[in-house]
Amino acid sequence: MSAIETCRTAALGGHVEACSDCGHQRIAYNSCRNRHCPRCQGAAARTWLEAQEANLLPVGYFHVVFTLPAEIADIAFQNKARIYDLLFKAASETMLTIAADPKHLGARIGITAVLHSWGSAMTHHPHIHMIVPGGGITPDGRWISSRPAFLLPVRVLGALFRRLFITRLLDLHGAGKLAFFGKLAGLNDRRAFQRHLAPARRKRWVVYAKAPFAGPEAVLAYLSRYTHRVAISNSRLLRFDGSEITFRYKDYRRSGANRQQVMTLTADEFIRRFLLHTLPRGFHRIRHYGLLASSARKDCLAQARDMLGVAPTTDDPPTAETSDPLPPCPCCGGTMVIIETFAAWCQPRAPPTTRPPTRETVHDPA
């Protein structure tokens, strides 16, 4: 929360930019670069997407979602690192196992998985979004495509996902790797824990598969919206009167125009909900599996492209032009250059002036 509060303020330092044409100057403060900050995720998403564009194949892509039931979500909130990691492992193993089954696709597939822990109203709702190419490589080295609008049966996926997750959750409990506090403290007892899981064993676990995307461009558009998203974006905030915050959210129990709703929360409740979704330090919320696993991605994608008759991609390093340039001058549209940097909690040596920069004053802060 401290990082978000100080983002792009004098607390983090910054630099002074000047227009090389008209001399207009402005102060730009540094970003916090925290992965939970909604203001800092745009640049991170663009950089990540540029790298992912080279991994796309000319096939249909499916969007698959694995969701935990409420009984498990309560446990996950008090054991984020353990349960979120288990969610990734159980969901990915489910997809890879069913896809490899000759009764279904009979091939090794690729998966990009992204963890979201929130619902639209910022309540705790852990689930995994997956982007999956519509096909894979068979054991005998052939590419096999899925049906145009069908990847894998969701009921079969849900049943295996439930079994894998609950079995390994019980193993974690038996090894003493789960902690319980407050109203869940009684779950430290093995029998109480099993009783708590009983309803989850009986219910159907939701696995949702959407129709395939229109093409690689649509995949990237989706990824840009989902991979670096935080619990709420600035665009959904409507009003703040000093004590209450009003924002838009989707009520998925409704349909049509009634799905879009408005909610007002006190500031402390809004902040509490936002902080529910802070990830453990060092936890990776974007992971790749199968053909897209980092250890084998380059070779697997080259093999897949060869089977699909696609020209191989080049591995040229990004040039300087790919980095984000400074925004143009608001007065004349000219090029802005950095003429001064200043440390945290400091200010520029003098307020910005209208004097155009000279060759002697313009320098690279590095």
Task: Report if residue 360 sits inside a domain.
Answer: no
Q: Does 320 score more than 60 pLDDT? A: no
| End residue of a domain, out of 275, 299, 334 | 275
Sheet holding 61-67, edge to edge: 207-210, 61-67, 124-133, 110-118, 286-290
Co-location of 59 and 108 in the same domain: yes
pLDDT band at 315 (very low <50, low <70, confident <90, very high): low
Average the pLDDT over 55-83 and give the result. Answer: 91
Co-location of 114 and 263 in the same domain: no
Average the pLDDT over 250-273 and give the result. Answer: 87
Beta bridge partners of 26: 17
Q: Is 157 left (phi over 0), alpha (psi -120 to 50) or beta?
A: alpha
Q: Are 229 and 274 in contact (CB under 8 A)?
A: no
User: Residue 355 carries which side chain, given as an amino acid letter?
Assistant: R
Q: Does 309 score more than 60 pLDDT? A: yes
pLDDT band at 312 (very low <50, low <70, confident <90, very high): low
44/339: higher pLDDT: 339
Q: Are 190 and 174 in contact (CB under 8 A)?
A: yes
Residue 2 makes CB contacts below 8 A (sequence gap 6+) with none
The lowest-confidence range among 73-77, 210-214, 268-272 is 210-214
Q: Does 317 score more than 60 pLDDT? A: no
Length of the chain: 366
| End residue of a domain, out of 312, 328, 360 | 312
Q: Does 198 score more than 70 pLDDT? A: yes
Query: 21, 38, 6: which is closest to 356 by C-alpha?
Result: 21
Q: Does 316 score more than 90 pLDDT? A: no
Co-location of 290 and 143 in the same domain: yes
| Enclosing domain of residue 241 | 234-275
340/231: higher pLDDT: 340
Q: Does 51 score more than 90 pLDDT? A: no
Q: How far apart (Å, rounded) are the C-alpha atoms in residues 143 and 241?
A: 58
Q: Are 17 and 28 in contact (CB under 8 A)?
A: yes
Backbone angles phi, psi at 275, to 5 degrees: -75, -10
Co-location of 193 and 265 in the same domain: no
Please report the pLDDT score of residue 294 as a whole number: 86
Task: Report if residue 145 sits inside a domain.
Answer: yes
Q: How far apart (Å, rounded) are the C-alpha atoms in residues 209 and 65?
A: 6
- Count other C-beta atoms under 10 Å from residue 175's C-beta: 8
Q: Does 359 score more than 50 pLDDT? A: no
Co-location of 202 and 215 in the same domain: yes
DSSP E strands, 72-161: 110-118, 124-133, 135-137, 143-145
Co-location of 158 and 259 in the same domain: no
Please report the pLDDT score of residue 49 as a whole number: 75
Average the pLDDT over 12-31 and give the result. Answer: 89
Please report the pLDDT score of residue 216 as a whole number: 66
Backbone angles phi, psi at 183, to 5 degrees: -70, -15
Q: Does 87 score more than 80 pLDDT? A: yes
SS3 233: coil
Co-location of 165 and 138 in the same domain: yes
Co-location of 80 and 152 in the same domain: yes
Co-location of 262 and 293 in the same domain: no
Co-location of 271 and 281 in the same domain: no
Q: Are 126 and 109 in contact (CB under 8 A)?
A: no
Please report the pLDDT score of residue 253 as a whole number: 79
Average the pLDDT over 95-120 and give the result. Answer: 93
Co-location of 177 and 97 in the same domain: yes
pTM, rounded to two decimals: 0.81
Instruction: Calculate the CA 77 to chain-centre distance.
Output: 18
The overall average pLDDT reported for the chain is: 85
Task: Report if residue 321 sits inside a domain.
Answer: no
Average the pLDDT over 187-213 and give the result. Answer: 91
Q: Does 75 score more than 50 pLDDT? A: yes
The lowest-confidence range among 39-53, 142-156, 249-263, 266-280 is 39-53
Task: Report if residue 259 sits inside a domain.
Answer: yes
Domain harbouring 128, CATH code: 3.40.1310
Task: Report if residue 31 sits inside a domain.
Answer: no
Please report the pLDDT score of residue 56 as a whole number: 85
Average the pLDDT over 336-362 and give the result. Answer: 66
Co-location of 74 and 135 in the same domain: yes
SS3 149: coil
Q: Does 354 score more than 50 pLDDT? A: no
Number of structural domains found in the chain: 2
Please report the pLDDT score of residue 84 as a whole number: 96
125 is written with which tokens? 């709702």
Task: Report if residue 120 sits inside a domain.
Answer: yes
